[in-house]
Amino acid sequence: MKMHYAIRGIAGSFVLISLALGWFVSPWWFLFTAFVGLNLLQSSLTHWCLMEDILAKTGLVKRDGTTGSASASPSARPSRG
């Protein structure tokens, strides 16, 4: 999965979950919805996204779009000699 697809999926999930929590649990959850929106706006203006850094550091999604340990390039693998 490419990084931008993962970020869009996470942001969309956060918005929908926080809307549901705001409707069914407490209106204070709508502040989380606003926080996600502000982060999306900030990311569009500064071209920096914290979630991108988090995903890259966890190794779930890498900046080049590969996932997990399958991203090793053929030159990085040991030769079978």
Q: What per-residue confidence (pLDDT) applies to 2? A: 83
More confident residue, 63 or 80: 63
Q: What per-residue confidence (pLDDT) applies to 78? A: 53
More confident residue, 15 or 70: 15
Query: pTM above 0.85?
Result: no
Token couple for 46:
């500064």
**Helices 3-24 and 30-46, packing angle to 10 deg:** 160
If one counts every other C-beta atom within 10 angstroms of the C-beta of residue 51, the result is 19
Residue count (the chain)? 81
The type of residue at 66 is T
**pLDDT band, residue 73 (cuts 50/70/90):** very low
Long-range contacts of 10-15 (CB under 8 A, 24+ apart): 10/51, 11/36, 11/39, 11/40, 11/51
* Residue pLDDT, tens place only, 29-55: 999 999 999 999 999 999 999 999 898
